[in-house]
Amino acid sequence: MPLVTSIRTSTRNRGSRRTEILEAAAVLFAARGFHGVSIEDIGSAVGISGPALYRHFSGKDALLAEMLLDVSERLRSAGAQVVTGTGTPDEMLDTLIQGQIAFALSHPALITVHDRELGNVAEPQRRAIRRLQRLYAEEWVTVLSELHPACPAADLRAATHAVFGLLNSTPHSAGEVPHETMAPLLHRMARAAFAAIVSGR
Amino acid sequence: MPLVTSIRTSTRNRGSRRTEILEAAAVLFAARGFHGVSIEDIGSAVGISGPALYRHFSGKDALLAEMLLDVSERLRSAGAQVVTGTGTPDEMLDTLIQGQIAFALSHPALITVHDRELGNVAEPQRRAIRRLQRLYAEEWVTVLSELHPACPAADLRAATHAVFGLLNSTPHSAGEVPHETMAPLLHRMARAAFAAIVSGR
DNA sequence: TGTGGATGTTAGTCATCATTAACTGATTCG
DNA sequence: CGAATCAGTTAATGATGACTAACATCCACA
């Protein structure tokens, strides 16, 4: 019995509820972990209550899976666009870094959930998410390998994950520094970290 | 009815069971999150079953709290020793980085739990853990502020957390590269990242 | 020798939670 | 105007899980 009858006039607001739920769930999952959040919690965060979620998702697991799949896909496709496009490897790396920073700063909860909760996704979709994550990381590694041809790919992979850790730290140290300061700071640190890969003492 | 009667001869192995439990729990918490692990899971991981844990800890919450308190305390005290000792700021920073890397490489599960699960600790002890974490970070900031006197403390704090993210990434990208390669790589990247704090383009 | 404490065990208990059922009001569209 | 579909609601249901109770061993030691 929705007391507030739909304010939205027409077109039925396609999918807005789904994304609204996904966003609220991301914040809750980031704060308390997947198993620490109940269906009722998520529902009441968007003003509906409990089992109404099943009108939009087939279950809690499916909700998490879709969230992670969506994030992984967005990152990977943004990355692919960079690598496909024109530019020197150096410029590509800058663009990749900038994209990751922009995403981490604007969707901190999603980033947090993204690298914490994969273990709670069941096997059919787990593999798909892992694959997208791997593809995304491989794009970074490909660019890096042009800048450091002598460096073993395994090291480049490790360095990439380390820089992901650096860039994704924003959700944890959030609020203290404005984005306009944070973004260039992180960018410089990431560039410098990559430049230090070379094993020259 | 312990079929295997105590192999340990004497002195009752003070507290060995406690630490054994803490270590097993850390691995499980890191993999599936605090709420994703049951008391029964932890018990069977150390060969006892379920409620036997209550002979060692007053509850699941207390177990997590003690785990985080212990890690935070170990890191902070190691950090304090560095800062108190002699040496140039540059050397101190190297020592701090080295200590963090050594800890992250040898206790990946603890590091993971440490920066994920604070939100699941209740308020009396949450504050204590936060305090230790803050003190530890402040030690890094103090050293950094001698190297970058012109830089605002807030930026140094953000940079410190970013480097924590970089160094603590090891658990996620583990196994691919041997420690002997990983440790110096991370060290170089961390040093370079800190050197890039200076806002000079 | 036998008593007490430390450690376990198994069998409840009580809450919480994901999911399903049954039912209701609106909107759209023929 | 209906009838269908969408998007909610509240009330079960069934599992799981934290914690407690009652009971058993073993070891140290007086």
pLDDT tens for residues B68-93? 999 999 999 999 999 998 899 999 99
What residues of chain A lie within 8 A of the CB of B170, using their CB?
Answer: 162
Amino acid residing at B25:
A
Long-range pairs for B123-127 at CB < 8 Å and ≥24 separation?
B125/B65, B125/B69
Measured CA to C1', the nucleotide nearest B11 is D28
Nearest CA in chain B to A200: B188
Q: Do A184 and B199 touch (CB under 8 A)?
A: yes
pLDDT of residue A78: 97
Of A21, A139, A28, the residue nearest A70 (C-alpha): A21
What residues of chain A lie within 8 A of the CB of B32, using their CB?
Answer: 35, 119-120
**Chain D nucleotides reached by a protein CB under 7 Å:** 6-12, 16-21, 24-28
pLDDT of residue A85: 87
What residues of chain A lie within 8 A of the CB of B189, using their CB?
Answer: 159, 162-163, 193-194, 196-197
**pLDDT, mean of residues B89-114:** 98
Give the Cα separation of B165 and B176 in Å (integer): 19
Higher pLDDT, B201 or A98: A98
Percentage of residues in chain B having pLDDT higher than 90? 86
**pLDDT, mean of residues A74-92:** 95
* 3 state SS for chain A: CCCCCCCCCCHHHCCHHHHHHHHHHHHHHHHHCHHHCCHHHHHHHCCCCHHHHHHCCCCHHHHHHHHHHHHHHHHHHHHHHHHHCCCCHHHHHHHHHHHHHHHHHHCHHHHHHHCCCHHHCCHHHHHHHHHHHHHHHHHHHHHHHHHCCCCCHHHHHHHHHHHHHHHCCCCCCCCCCCHHHHHHHHHHHHHHHHHCCCCCC
Residue A14 has pLDDT above 70, yes or no: no
**Chain C nucleotides reached by a protein CB under 7 Å:** 6-12, 16-21, 24-28
Kindly list the distances between the CA atom of residue A194 and the CA atoms of A12, A93, A134, A147, B140, in Å, as whole numbers in the listed order: 48, 10, 19, 10, 22
Percentage of residues in chain B having pLDDT higher than 70? 92
CA of A23, closest CA in chain B: separation in Å? 19
pLDDT of residue A21: 98
Q: With bands split at pLDDT 50, 70 and 90, how would you rate the model's confidence at A29?
A: very high
Higher pLDDT, A73 or A12: A73
Residue A201 has pLDDT above 60, yes or no: no
pLDDT of residue A5: 35
* B166 → closest Cβ in A33, A117, A165: A165
pLDDT of residue B27: 98
Residue A61 has pLDDT above 60, yes or no: yes
What residues of chain B lie within 8 A of the CB of A161, using their CB?
Answer: 169, 172-173
Query: Is A66 within 8 Å of A29 (Cβ atoms)?
Result: no
Residue A55 has pLDDT above 70, yes or no: yes
Give the Cα separation of A115 and B1 in Å (integer): 42
CA of B95, closest CA in chain A: separation in Å? 17
Contacts of B160 (CB under 8 A, 6+ apart): B137, B140, B141, B144
Report helix, strand or coil for B171: coil
Residue B9 has pLDDT above 50, yes or no: no
Amino acid residing at A111:
I
Query: Is B191 within 8 Å of A198 (Cβ atoms)?
Result: no
Of B62, B75, B169, the residue nearest B120 (C-alpha): B62
